[in-house]
Amino acid sequence: MRELRMKSKGLLLVVSGPSGAGKGTICKALIEKNPNVVLSVSATTRAPRNGEIEGVSYYFKSEQQFKEMIANDELLEWAAFCSNYYGTPKKYVEKMLQEGKDVILEIDVQGALKVRSKYPEGIYIFILPPSMEELKSRITNRGTESQEVINERLNTARLEFTHINKYNYIIINDRLEDAVKDLEAIIIAEKCRIERSQEIIKEVCNI
């Protein structure tokens, strides 16, 4: 049965949440445990942080290059955030889905809503921190942003919370291990949905 499921089209998993909620850490941990899950690498115009690698962390682009990608319809979605552009190159995503891979888009709310208008069959997951106090602590402890940017991220988080009901699931990231298990459970449940299992039904039931 699992072999039949692997032959079907992959799941598009759109994961959002405020900066500091830990969505990147959750997605990385999931991918390390599940070889059939891949992360879509976003393009951005922001400067690389220490340790980030071109083509692995992001595709780092100039503003002009990014605008050319928009003009050439090379992005599944794109958005502006904190004076920078972020977007999802669509060619890789579509290729992986057709090969049966589950693709994670780790993107902000603006981008997720754009993707949802094109891919309503996707699974939309919002990562929440255990509290706003914890969120502020996580952002501050990075030591990479000014107080002005920290405040902007917290204000953005409050706005993002108003869109939670447009997602299918929420995961509270209090303990990383539990959050990853929650995400795995969502994937398993979605793969067992009737509308995603028509090939298996035909094979087993001969209908």
What is the pTM (predicted TM-score) of this model? 0.81
Element (H, E) at 188: helix 176-191
What is the SS3 assignment for 206?
A: coil
The pLDDT value recorded for residue 1 is 47
The segment with the largest mean pLDDT, out of 96-100, 193-197, 199-203, is 96-100
186 Cβ neighbours under 8 A, 6+ residues apart: 123, 125, 169, 171
Q: For residue 110, is pLDDT > 80?
A: yes
Residue-wise pLDDT tens digits, 113-167 = 989 988 899 999 999 999 998 988 888 888 777 888 888 889 999 999 999 999 9
Q: What is the pLDDT of residue 185?
A: 97
pLDDT reading at 47 higher than 50: yes
The stretch 47-67 carries a mean pLDDT of 93
> CA–CA separation, 77 vs 118, rounded Å?
10
pLDDT over 70 percentage in the chain: 96
The alpha carbon of residue 25 and the mean position of all alpha carbons in its chain are separated, in whole angstroms, by 11
CA distance 85 to 37: 26
- Give per-residue burial for 137-168: e unless 16+ CB within 10 Å, then b: ebbeeeeeeeeeebebbbebbeebeeeeeebe
Q: Which long-range contacts (CB under 8 A, 24 or more apart) does 173-180 make?
A: 173/17, 173/21, 173/22, 173/23, 173/25, 173/26, 173/127, 173/128, 173/129, 173/130, 174/130, 176/22, 176/25, 176/26, 176/29, 179/22, 179/26, 179/127, 180/26, 180/29, 180/30, 180/33
Q: What is the pLDDT of residue 38?
A: 95
Supply the pLDDT for residue 18.
92
Of residues 15 and 203, more confidently modeled: 15
Of 16, 17, 10, 19, nearest to 142 by C-alpha is 19
Q: Which of 1, 10, 22 is nearest to 176 (CA)?
A: 22
Q: What domains appear along the chain, each with residue ranges and CATH number?
A: 2-40+101-205 (3.40.50.300)
Averaged pLDDT, 98-121: 91
The amino acid at residue 124 is Y
What gap in Å lies between CA 138 and CA 120, rounded to an integer?
A: 32
